[in-house]
Amino acid sequence: MFNLPFKMIKKPGDIGRESSLMIDLRKVDKYYKTAAGDYHALKSIELQINPGEFVSIIGKSGSGKSTLLNMISGIDHPTTGEVWVHGAPIHELNEDQMASWRGENMGILFQFFQLLPALSLLQNVILPMDLAGKYKPRERRKHAEHLLEIVGLADHQNKLPSMVSGGQQQRAAIARALANDPPLIVADEPTGNLDSKTAESVFALFNDLVAQGKTVIIVTHDSSLAKRAHRTALIADGEIVNEYLAKALPTLTSDQLLLATRTVKPHQYEAGAMILVEGKNNNAFYIVSKGMVEVVLPRPNQSDVVALQLGPGKYFGEMAFFHGQRNWASVRAAKSGSVEVLAISYDQLNELLSESEVTRQALHQAADRHEQENVEKRGAMV
């Protein structure tokens, strides 16, 4: 486990603004000029990430995931829209401002490590401190040695990058990214050139960083590793797929999820408000995106029983879809707070499921299982 001091996040007063978010992308579009005309790489991207989250960005080659990371890191700028990172308007900073800001606030990891070959591992880690003037000169070597120790390279600190393995080079790159104690680490395919065992150890280092309060964002092609992050942002054709749709319907392809993202309608409910009423006709399938809902069963002359609570990524309405389009229970927003649900009409759901038989079977099985559970709970209430 890392043992790194983590500073409380402070907003840069001259260029920042108050925000509780670490990352806030607002309607970001990116166009590139090509011989064939303008290429629309990112399309109205909205993405919010809180401090201390571990977020993976996944997508097919050419989907826009590296371009998205370049927006966050300030390596590239949006054509339109706003990019706020740690309170700073990245989209407004010039190159000098961006370099100064990045040195204090962000550590960047690349797939090919990009360690300077003529410098030792120790010197590579010291260099960002020299550039940023972050620590007193006599403190920099000690801090770099400490970072190399906690990534398991204390015995290799005086070696050149060419003298150690790829996994060790990536660990040194992590130490370098941490040199100025930034609150945010971004990584582009950080395990892409590593074997599975080494990739696992690097991923464990990311988990340790998050446990210490860092925010970590990685672009990865490894879906098994991506699923172990707190959240996964799936990007397809330059658009962010709704993460709660992806969580609720994981067997859909990225293209199908993108189509569903364009289709769903968000609905807001105040605390305690009724969403569905037992016995009433229903024409939509719902996925919880914010807050908590309660599945309630009525009892004659007594208060209702809360049979189940459903949080973000959980769904309801599938029993009505497969069993007569009448609700089998009532569903309301929990009394603890307001709720947002995503609604897909049954006609749209049927069209979507016609393209994915495995998803239809999974939802049908869930509907049958929930119907049986409903019957058993009602029997226990008698």
Q: What are the DSSP calls for 216-246, one per residue?
A: EEEE-S-HHHHTTSSEEEEEETTEEPPHHHH
Shared domain for 223 and 317, answered yes or no, is: no
Instruction: Report yes or no on 10 lying in a domain.
Output: no
Distance in angstroms (rounded) separating the CA atoms of residues 337 and 332: 11
Shared domain for 87 and 141, answered yes or no, is: yes
Shared domain for 202 and 328, answered yes or no, is: no
Instruction: Report yes or no on 215 lying in a domain.
Output: yes
Q: What band does 382 get if pLDDT is binned at 50, 70 and 90? A: low
pLDDT over threshold 90, residue 152: no
Give the type of residue at 211: A
- For the stretch 139-151, pLDDT in tens is 999 999 999 988 8
- Read off the CATH number of the domain in which 265 is found: 2.60.120.10
55-69, 134-148, 188-202, 267-281: range with lowest mean pLDDT: 188-202
Beta-strand pair 106-109/184-188: parallel
Shared domain for 148 and 228, answered yes or no, is: yes
Across the chain, mean pLDDT equals 87
Rounded-to-5 percentages of helix, strand, coil across the chain:
35, 30, 35
List Cβ neighbours of 379 (8 Å cut-off, separation of 6 or more): none
Q: Which two tokens stand for residue 320?
A: 């009505």
Instruction: Report yes or no on 252 lying in a domain.
Output: no
H-type alpha helices, 212-317 = 223-226, 243-248, 254-263
Shared domain for 94 and 208, answered yes or no, is: yes
What is the arithmetic mean of pLDDT over 235-242?
A: 92
pLDDT over threshold 70, residue 361: yes
pLDDT over threshold 80, residue 377: no
pLDDT at 378: 66
- Read off the CATH number of the domain in which 164 is found: 3.40.50.300
What is the arithmetic mean of pLDDT over 58-67?
A: 88
Beta-strand pair 284-290/54-58: unpaired
List Cβ neighbours of 294 (8 Å cut-off, separation of 6 or more): 306, 308, 309, 310, 331, 332, 333, 334
Distance in angstroms (rounded) separating the CA atoms of residues 239 and 250: 17
pLDDT at 300: 66
What is the arithmetic mean of pLDDT over 100-115?
A: 85
Instruction: Report yes or no on 248 lying in a domain.
Output: no
Q: Which of 181, 205, 240 is the last residue of a domain?
A: 240
Distance in angstroms (rounded) separating the CA atoms of residues 225 and 190: 11
For residue 203, the enclosing domain spans 23-240
Give, as one character, the DSSP assignment of residue 119: S
Q: Which two tokens stand for residue 59?
A: 């997508």
Shared domain for 263 and 227, answered yes or no, is: no
Q: Which of 240, 267, 294 is the last residue of a domain?
A: 240
Nearest Cα residue to 216 out of 179, 174, 169: 174
pLDDT over threshold 90, residue 351: yes
Shared domain for 320 and 235, answered yes or no, is: no
pLDDT at 111: 73
Distance in angstroms (rounded) separating the CA atoms of residues 249 and 267: 19
Provide, rounded to the nearest whole percent, the portion of the chain with pLDDT above 90: 52
Instruction: Report yes or no on 187 lying in a domain.
Output: yes
Shared domain for 40 and 175, answered yes or no, is: yes
Instruction: Report yes or no on 11 lying in a domain.
Output: no
pLDDT at 235: 92
Torsion of CA 320, 323, 329, 334, to 10 degrees: -30
Shared domain for 161 and 62, answered yes or no, is: yes
- Domain tally, the chain: 2
Shared domain for 35 and 134, answered yes or no, is: yes
Instruction: Report yes or no on 245 lying in a domain.
Output: no
- For the stretch 17-47, pLDDT in tens is 445 899 999 999 999 998 988 999 999 999 9
pLDDT over threshold 70, residue 136: yes
What is the arithmetic mean of pLDDT over 363-367?
A: 92
Q: Which of 179, 213, 240 is the last residue of a domain?
A: 240
Shared domain for 226 and 262, answered yes or no, is: no
Shared domain for 48 and 145, answered yes or no, is: yes
pLDDT over threshold 50, residue 125: yes
Instruction: Report yes or no on 319 lying in a domain.
Output: yes
Provide, rounded to the nearest whole percent, the portion of the chain with pLDDT above 70: 93
